[in-house]
Every structure is written in structure tokens, then in C-alpha cells.
Amino acid sequence: MGRPVFLGKAYINWCEKCNVPLIGDSCAIHGKESIFRLDVTPPGDLRFAFERDLGFIREVFREHFGVDIGKVLDGKVVLLNKLPSEDEAYEIIVDGYIFGYVKFDPVELKWRAGLKVEGAIALWKLYGKKMKKWVIVDKGAVEPIKRGANLLAVGVLEADSSIRINDEVILVSEDGEVFATGIAKKDYKALIKGERGTGVKSKRQKTVRYREGRKASMEDVLRANSIALEEKVVKAREFMRRVSEKYSDLPVAVAFSGGKDSLAVLGLALEEFGNGFTVFFNNTGIEFPETVEYVEELKKELEPKGIKFVVADAGDAFWRALYVFSPPGRDYRWCCKVTKLGPITLAIKENYPKGVLMFVGQRKYESIKRFKQPRVWRNEWVPNEIGASPIFHWRAIEVWLYIFSRKLLYNPLYERGFDRIGCFLCPSASLAEFERLKREKPELWEKWFEALDYWRKRFNLPKEWITHGFWRWKKLSKGEKAIARKLGVEILEERSWEPVRVEIRETPEGYELEFNTILNKKRLLEVAPILGEVTVEGDVVKAGAVEFLTGTRKARAPNEEEAWSAYYLVKRAYECVGCGVCVGKCPENALSIDEKSRKIVVDWDSCVHCRECMEVCPLLKIKNPEEGSQL
């Protein structure tokens, strides 16, 4: 069975003469002469390594193997290929072969280095026994190991004294041939003593294609890829032209996040449309400061050229919502609804009430979910917006080639080792990314740590809930449970937080609700029309078929469905964080956000009680409240 190349190409072509990667099937300088194919681990979303990346990789390898791999990488074009892993890992590609990899250990919270046979050959040629983690193998064991056998300790002739159990090691024959890599199953002393059992679990590698290539620069890469890149640009621009003509009644905009993908789309829009379009930036309130500054810099450059900028600003919505929802998770993405879709919906409704065609930088290589998404779509959460992705089929290497070829100003965070630009506390980020955040932006990490520590204490959880990133799940995944077991800590398998709770009881007259909070008449009247026509008799507020006994904790409903609707209304009234998703969704423009309270209020004259706002509220769609879920 072949490897799962479900997201597209899982290989890169390489020009041997130029010693650079190719995004097409031929080199613009040498044609198809001396072109070879390098298979990589799927999905194959390759990117170029920046100087900070190379410095980091050298540190990791120096710590493990005791030598500087800069002698192999310096002056060469180096690619990084993100690997499927427990946390974060990258293949390192140079000279047209996979040199090795770096992998973050989510238990020990440290990076580990590993070599492919080609990388081991390169380092052994340079350093020999001066490097660490080598094992000299009896000649009789070489061929069996090449065919997939493990190395028994009795087959060890010599070994580096620094070897510990589970270390990455290289296997060298008596005559100095590096022929395999593996994982040490015994430490140095046990290997030398020849203790019974497996000494090294070998990694099978079917082919070895070590080569030494010439030095090459980014200019060499651009020259070799110039024809293939321009073909991609032409196709992307044709797509933009075709879609804009189809939706000619809608104004054109570019959704700009401050990252590389949206920058490529912005560059394409400038080439295709020149001016007359809008750039939408969503300031979530949890962006890196550098990103906000970078967007301001672009704004100053492009506004005089006829490009309009609209900022959908969430303000402090995240920090207010945090104490209603508890920390966000990969399976609990309320943050996107509150800080992105709400503000964007309001901005679109204000600036383009009849709709907008939004070009975005989504690529299929980013996730399975995006791979399955159509290239042109209508967002159910954002009315009046048609989304379209011109670079849907592009890999990261193609995005960067385009950016470098046009000399586009990109976010400076990329050169500081950040692979992904977005909210600095995103639960989808890896532990490795949070370790990078601690190192590069300690003030941001400290702010988030203090917020997490509040919830850690409230849920009575161990410190590992923060340090090992368990907060990134509402309900722990199998992988996270396994990590907790390895650490020997107890973590709640599922957490929940419901400030407003209710008990619903069936009675002979219908259903009775008892809340954990007293019903405030003034606040209920601000939202009551959502359920139906409102009448008030003393302290009793009747909304549709539901009666709220304000000043008490009780309400009455004729059936179970309306009882739950009553609970949802009270929940929205009290827990509303002013995200604005419902405001944008309301077909009658009956909802607004009160400037002082930052909560929704209903225009009694406009509301037609359609309850569409109930269908999109993150409090109901994301939290999935259940009775008694309070911890």
C-alpha cells in the first residue's frame, strides 16, 4: 500500500546542476536535464529555512551529536518539511536528500535530533569518531541490518560513551561505511559488555542517495523556478478574474491575516486588479504586536495607491469571553467565533451591506478540513460573503517563491523562527510553538500563563495542565491521555464551565425552570422579544409562551422545547460577550451591541421572533450547555 498522498504532491523535484528544488517538472535553465525526484513525507508542504531556523537546528544537533552541522548546510538551500508527529517535527532537506529531522518531545519538553543515513554519511565524513552517538558494528551483522534486522549487543565492536537508552545513533561498519541509523535500546556500558538482547533497533531505509552539491542562493532558486512560478501566477490570476466576473455585482476584498498566505493573495490581487479593492484585517486582540505594526506599515504603503483598509477590531472581546467560556481548545474553538467571525460579520455588514467577494489565503495543505473545502464557498457564519482561494493548490514553497520573486514585505516574525502567524495563544499551536513564544515573546506568554493559572486553580488541576498544554483540549484526546500517564499526573478528561445553570422539572401544568441566579427584569426585557411577543404584568415577563418570574430564580414553559429555549435566552442575556455574530446574522437588523454593557439588545419594533440569532450564538453552538455541567 502506497503512502497517503491525500493532499497533493509528496515529493519535490531537484535540479542537480543548480542544486535547488523545483516546483515544476523542469529547470528554467537546464530543462529536464539532470532533474531527479525526491520523495518526502506527506503532506509535503515544504518551506525554506530562514537563518534563525538554521541556527536553531544547529543547536539541536550540536547538543545530541556534539558537532556543528553548519559545515553541511552553510551556503546551501535548505528546506523544511513539517511532519505528522505528536507535537512538532521537521524533515531537513539539503543537496537533494533528506539529511535528518528535528522533533519536539511533548513529555520532556525538548527538541531531539535524528539523522537519515545520508546525513549520517555527511557528518561521519567530516568528523568521524569526533562526533557522538556512533556504534561500530561487526561485519557479519551489516547485511542483516540493511535488510531490516536489529543490532544485537554482541555485534557491537565499539560505541560512543555518551549513548543512553532511546538515543538516536548511527551504525558504522568495520571498514568505515555508515550503513544505517537506529534507536539505542541499551546504554553504552550494556552495548560494550555485549549484554543479551537488542542493542539498537534499526530504522529501515530502502535507498541511500547521498550527494554533495554546489552552493546555491535564493537567486538561483528563483531563476530555476521562474517559468513554473509564472505559470502558477497566471492560473491564480485567471481564477481571480473568473470568480470576480461571476460575482461582478459584489465588490472585491482580500482577507489579510498578516501571514505569508494572505500576503501572496494580496500580491496577486495587486497584480490582477491594480487598485479599487479592500483589504480586510481582523485584529483579534490577541495578535502579535509585530503583526499589528506590520499591517499598519502596509496600510501606509497601499492606501495612497487606492487600496482601502478595513479593520474588524475585536478589542478585548477574548479576555472578556475567557471568563464565560474558560480557555479555548482544539475541540472548543469559541475564540474564532468571538474574535474573528463576529467582528468580521459586523465589519462586512457595515461596509458592504449587499455583500462582498473575499479572496482568502486558504490552502489545502493546511489541514484535512481545508483540503475537503471547495475553492469557492459561502460562509454559513458570515452572511453576504463569498469566499474564494486563489492559492488553494499552492504549497508553502510556492508561496514563498512568489513572495521572494516580488520582493513583498513579509511579517518579521518569520525570521524569528515562527512558522505560523496568528493569535499568539491559539490552542491549535504545538507545545514547541509555546516554548518558542516563551523564548521570543516572554511578556505575551506571561500574560497568558496568568490567565491559565487562574483556571488551573479554579479547576484544581496540576501545573502540568499548563506546562504540557493539556488546556488545549476541552475533552482530552487519546494522545494527551497517554502523555498524562507518562507524566504520572491526573488531568480531568473533560472540563466544562457554565456560569448560568438551570434545573428543569416537569409539572402537571408544564415545565418549571429554576436558575442559579435571580432573573433581572431590566436585562430580560432587553432580549425577551427573541422568543415572541412580550407582555409585562408586574414582575412577570411573558415572552411568547414562556413566563419569567423576575426577582426570583424561576420561569415556566408549556413544553420541554420552550423550557430549553427559555434557558438559552437567559444564558445569552447574562453571558453575552458582544461578539456580534448574531447581529450580523439578524435578517431584520433588530439586534445591536450596547456600547456600555457590550451585550446584545433587541429592537422591539424590528424583531420578528424568527430565532435565527439563537442558531449562531457561540454560547449555544460552541459550548453545548448541559444541566449540571458546572465543576
Dist. CA 152–CA 137, nearest whole Å: 10
Q: What is the chain's mean pLDDT, rounded?
A: 93
Domains of the chain, first to last: 1-116 (no CATH), 130-204 (2.30.130.10), 218-416 (3.40.50.620), 431-487 (no CATH), 502-621 (3.30.70.20)
Q: Which helix or strand (DSSP H or E) is residue 325 part of? A: helix 317-325
The dihedral sign for the CA sequence 432, 438, 444, 446: positive
Q: Where are the beta strands (DSSP E) in 500-539?
A: 502-507, 510-515, 534-537
Q: How far is it, in rounded angstroms, from Cα 630 to Cα 501?
A: 8
pLDDT in tens, 211-225: 999 999 999 999 999
8 pLDDT above the threshold of 60: no
Residue 430 makes CB contacts below 8 A (sequence gap 6+) with 87, 88, 104
Residue 566: the pLDDT is 96
Q: How many CA atoms lie within 13 A of 421 on its CB side?
A: 24
pLDDT digits (tens, 9 = 90+) for 230-254: 999 999 999 999 999 999 999 999 9
- Taking the complete model, does pTM exceed 0.85, yes or no? yes
- CA-CA distances (angstroms) from residue 253 to 266, 270, 303? 9, 11, 14
630 falls in which pLDDT band (50, 70, 90)? very low
Q: What distance in Å separates the CA atoms of residue 451 and residue 424, rounded to the nearest whole number?
A: 14
User: What pLDDT digit, counting tens, does each position of 463-483 carry?
Assistant: 999 999 999 999 999 999 999
Q: Which of 346, 342, 341, 338 is nearest to 321 (CA)?
A: 338
Q: In this structure, which amino acid lies at residue 407?
A: K
Q: Reply yes or no on whether the pLDDT at 364 is more than 90.
A: no
Q: What is the CA radius of gyration of the chain?
A: 29
Euclidean distance between CA atoms 107 and 468, whole angstroms: 7
Tell me what the mean pLDDT of segment 276-280 comes to: 95
At 619, the pLDDT band (50, 70, 90 cuts) reads confident
pLDDT for 367 equals 57
The span from the CA of 614 to the CA of 567, in Å, is 12
Strand pairing partners for 600? 593
| Higher pLDDT pick, 585 / 203 | 203
pLDDT at residue 5 tops 50: no
User: What gap in Å lies between CA 22 and CA 331, rounded to an integer?
Assistant: 37
pLDDT at 81 over 70: yes
> Which range scores top for mean pLDDT: 92-96, 353-357, 616-620?
92-96
- Check residue 371 and give its pLDDT: 59
Alpha helices in 17-152 (DSSP H): 51-65, 70-73, 117-127, 139-146
The CA-atom distances, in angstroms, between 218 and each of 72, 222, 224, 262 are 17, 6, 10, 22
Residue 297 in this model has a pLDDT that exceeds 80? yes
Model pLDDT for residues 167-177, shown as the tens digit of each residue: 999 999 999 99
Q: What is the mean pLDDT of residues 376-380?
A: 83
pLDDT value of position 345: 86
C-alpha to C-alpha distance for 460 and 327, rounded to whole angstroms? 15
Give 626's pLDDT tier (boundaries 50, 70, 90).
very low
| 359-365-371 Cα angle (round to 5) | 75
Q: How far apart are CA 278 and CA 356, in angstroms?
A: 10
